[in-house]
Structures are given as C-alpha cells and as structure tokens.
C-alpha cells in the first residue's frame, strides 16, 4: 500500500492557479480510475478533474473556496498496490446507470505511464489511464433494438422479460412492477431517459419531469424543444422569481476567477483598441421565414435552428468579402486571417465568456447549427474548456435574447470586430411605398479603428444586413 499526493495540474495553456470549487469525494471514499473527484475554477472556466489512480481517499489537502498554485498537492490517495493501481476492482457505484457494461467490466485496467509514476502522480487531465470511468452513464440498449449501437449488447437473463436489464446493472434498483407504458427506451426503475446533460439541466430549471416528455430526437432522445414544449413556455427567464430583499445592507463579492479575468480583458480591450461603432436597421422577415423552413427540414432534425445561425453565416460570408475585419493588430504588423474561428459571447452563471467555433468557414449550415448549439449548451453548463476560448478571430453577441434592440459591444481581446444582434420583433416598415408589419432588427458593430477604416466597417455591416434581409444570397 502506498500514498500518492495528487498535485493541481495545468488544465490550460499557461494556467498558474485555480480555485477549488467543490469536492466530489470525502476522506474514506473509494475512488476509481478517471472518476471526477473535484471541480476547479480557472481564470476562464469550470473544469472537472478525473483521478489517474484507483484507491481510497486518504485526505483532502485544500478546502473549498481556496485558490492554489499549479503543482500544489490537493489530494492524498491511498492505493492498494505499490504501482499506484488497486489490486481489487473498485466498489460499484450506487447508481445502476453508471455501472459498466459486462464487456467493460471484464477488461483489465491499464497501468499509468511510467513518467506519471516518477512525477509522483502529476498527471494531466484525461491522461494516465484508459480504464472505464464511472463519471459517465452507460446508455442502455432499447428492447426494440433502436439503440443497440449505443452500447455493447448485454447478455439476456434466462426467463426474463425482454425489456429488463442484466442483474449486474440493476442490482441497486427496485424491480419493475408493471410493464412501462412509455416508449421502449424508457424505464420506470430510476434509470434516466436518453437526454444530454444540458437538456437535463434545462428540464430541472423548468421543473420538467423528463419521464413525462415525449422524445423527438433522431435516436429517441429528448431535445431542447421537447423540454420547452412540455413546460409550455419559450424561455427559462419566465421561471425566475423576484427574491426577497436581503437583510444585510451590503454584499461583497471577491474579484477572482472568471470575474477577475473578465475585468482585466475588458479594461485591456477598451483602453488599448480605439473602438468605433456603426448600426443598421434590417428587415429580417425573410430570415424568420427561412428559419421556419429549416426547422421543418429533415436535414435539421434534432438540431436547434435560430436566427443566430443565419447571422453566423452572414458574418462568415461578409468577412470573406471584407477580410480586414477578420484580423489581428500587433505593434509591427496586421495579421489578416483567412479562416474564421467564430466567437459567440455567452452569459453564464459565472460571468461572460467567449468560446469559439473552430474553422467555421468550412462548415455546412447543418454542421454550424450543431456546433453553435453545442457551444451554447456547454457554456451554460459552465463546462467550457480553456482551449475552446482561445484563437478566436471575430465575435458575435446575441443581445436580442435579452430583449435589447442594440448595443455598443467591446471587442474581444486580440480581435478587431464584434457584431451585436438585437431582438427581432414586428414593427411598421415601408415596403414598396406601403407601411406593413415586418420583422425588424438592429445590427450594431464595434471595430478596432487602427485596422478597420470607416468604409470597411460600413461595407462589412451592410453585407451582414443584406444576408439578414435576403438569406438566399448565401447560395451564391
């Protein structure tokens, strides 16, 4: 038996410190390979750390809320063997949903790399083992066979109902008294239905019972639209209640982590790059009609489609026509980039972050829609990784979701253009000499005037507006 002191690893490029947000284990708990044991907050995001060793938690060296430097020991793991691996399998998780498949359980765990042993357990996130993880739920095969490709097939128990799971997978669950009346992939024994973690979070926020939601996803999974439809509302904000006035006269919030990084970035951008802003009102009626057609298309089944998708495509198209808006300023040169890493400003519980879609210019409409949806959901969950926020070339901020008409956004550091999409709502609009109700929005853009001259900024925003007015131009 040996003890390993697990140091805080560098989970991003140049990370120097992080805050311990929440421990997922306690002294005396068994810990498995790749099991998430702590959440940390870096200067950019919330990160889950998996264990590179199997054994027993001996001691937590850092209390929650404390910020420590990279390399500082944070956890002591007592292993059952000198090589840092347990000689016995880890205790099964209490939840049957996390139990490994029989084929997975039979596979021997891989030993950690020798370099990791010499470093005393300083293993980077995601390295050090290839064994099964109990932090991710295994999907169960459907009795009807619709989901047999999602997980290895389980051996059928003798004389059992076809819809029952193997005994090893349901040992901790109560037996099913009656056949479920829900679709085949649903189970009434406490096993969650098929839905991505962000969808579960949305359902929790809206108070939706997922077992009562009818799935419409391509593999029988529950989509965001399914949850919202069941909740009979279009926005999470309607569920927010006005809190009582606090008894304390003041609340002091420490400036650290993401909030500290936001403050430094905003100051650096606002006072180092001379901003210039331009605005244009746009008739977005055809965009709204186009979005409606895309939602009805089988090609976009299970993918969220919104005006943001058309706006993103418009920016990519306009940047190709006006390349200097997709550039970077240095003291010695202007670097014009012929690829688009499209940043999307996202408001999260921990503050504003700007993850970006890599190589967006090479994506089809469907691929871009899926990438934007994943980026947004990951950001709202607070799971955006540092690498996903690096290397952006141009940014869009969708302030319309908050009911705002327009604004003067601050440039993301290292970029020279950012565009704000305002709310789209019906207004009187002159069409062919007649006043008609049309869907209208305002687009605003801020630019680094050292790189982007007024004429280029105006042409770029006019090009974006032309796509919003007539999305068919994207077919050129």
Q: Which residues contact 73 (CB under 8 A, 6 or more apart)?
A: 5, 6, 7, 8, 61
Single out the residue of 214, 235, 280 nearest to residue 420, CA to CA. 280
Between strands 356-357 and 342-344, the pairing is antiparallel
Q: What per-residue string of b and e applies to 65-75 under the rule 16 or more CB within 10 Å gives b?
A: eeebebeebbb
Q: What is the DSSP letter of 101?
A: P
Backbone angles phi, psi at 323, to 5 degrees: -60, -25
Between strands 2-7 and 351-353, the pairing is unpaired
Report CA-CA distances (Å) from 404 to 401, 441, 444. 7, 10, 11
Residues 98 and 105: their CA atoms lie apart, in Å, by 12
Q: How is the chain split among helix, strand and coil, in percent rounded to 5?
A: 30, 20, 50
Catalytic residues: 449
CB 457 within 8 A of CB 445: yes
Q: Which residues pair with 334 in a beta bridge?
A: 329
Report CA-CA distances (Å) from 280 to 242, 394, 407, 418, 465. 35, 19, 12, 14, 7
Report CA-CA distances (Å) from 242 to 201, 239, 252, 402. 21, 10, 20, 17
Backbone angles phi, psi at 236, to 5 degrees: -65, -30
Residues 222 and 195: their CA atoms lie apart, in Å, by 5
CB 77 within 8 A of CB 29: no
Report CA-CA distances (Å) from 292 to 236, 280, 287. 22, 24, 9
């Amino acid at each position: 038996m040996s003890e390993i002191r697990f140091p805080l690893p560098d989970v991003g490029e140049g990370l120097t410190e992080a805050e311990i947000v929440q421990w997922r284990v306690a002294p005396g708990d068994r810990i498995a390979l790749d099991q998430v044991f702590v959440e940390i907050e870096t200067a950019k995001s919330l990160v889950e750390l998996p264990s590179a060793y199997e054994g027993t938690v001996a001691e937590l060296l850092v209390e929650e809320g404390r910020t420590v430097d990279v390399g500082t020991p944070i956890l002591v793991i007592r292993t059952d063997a000198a090589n840092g691996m347990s000689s016995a399998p880890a205790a099964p998780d209490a939840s049957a949903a996390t139990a490994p498949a029989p084929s997975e359980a039979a596979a021997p765990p891989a030993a950690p790399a020798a370099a990791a042993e010499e470093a005393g357990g300083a293993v980077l996130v995601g390295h050090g083992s290839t064994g099964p993880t109990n932090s991710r739920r295994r999907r169960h095969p459907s009795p009807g066979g619709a989901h047999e490709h999602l997980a290895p097939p389980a051996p059928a128990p003798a004389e059992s109902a076809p819809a029952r799971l193997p005994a090893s997978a349901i040992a901790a669950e109560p037996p099913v008294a009656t056949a479920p009346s829900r679709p085949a992939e649903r189970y009434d024994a406490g096993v969650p239905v098929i839905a991505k973690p962000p969808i579960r979070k949305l359902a929790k926020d809206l108070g939706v019972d997922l077992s009562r939601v009818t799935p419409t996803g391509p593999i029988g999974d529950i989509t965001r639209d399914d949850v919202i439809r069941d909740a009979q509302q279009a926005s999470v904000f309607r569920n927010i209640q006005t809190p009582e006035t606090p008894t304390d006269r003041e609340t002091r919030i420490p400036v650290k982590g993401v909030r500290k990084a936001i403050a430094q970035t905003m100051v650096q951008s606002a006072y180092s790059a001379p901003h210039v802003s331009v605005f244009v009102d746009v008739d977005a009626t055809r965009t709204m009609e186009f979005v409606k057609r895309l939602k009805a298309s089988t090609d976009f089944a299970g993918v969220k489609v919104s005006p943001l998708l058309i706006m993103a495509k418009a920016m990519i198209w306009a940047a190709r026509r006006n390349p200097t808006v997709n550039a970077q300023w240095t003291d010695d040169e202007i670097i014009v980039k012929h690829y688009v890493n499209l940043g999307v400003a996202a408001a999260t519980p921990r503050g504003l972050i700007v993850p970006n879609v890599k190589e967006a210019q090479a994506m089809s409409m469907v691929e871009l829609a899926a990438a934007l949806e994943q980026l947004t959901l990951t950001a709202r969950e607070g799971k955006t990784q540092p690498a996903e926020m690096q290397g952006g070339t141009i940014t869009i901020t969708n302030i319309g979701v908050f009911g705002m008409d327009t604004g003067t956004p601050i440039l993301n550091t290292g970029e020279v253009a950012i565009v704000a999409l305002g709310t789209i709502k019906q207004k009187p609009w002159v069409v062919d000499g007649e006043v008609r109700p049309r869907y209208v929005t305002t687009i605003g853009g801020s630019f680094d005037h050292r790189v982007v001259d007024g004429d280029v900024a105006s042409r770029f925003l006019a090009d974006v507006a032309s796509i919003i007015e007539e999305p068919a131009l994207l077919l050129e």
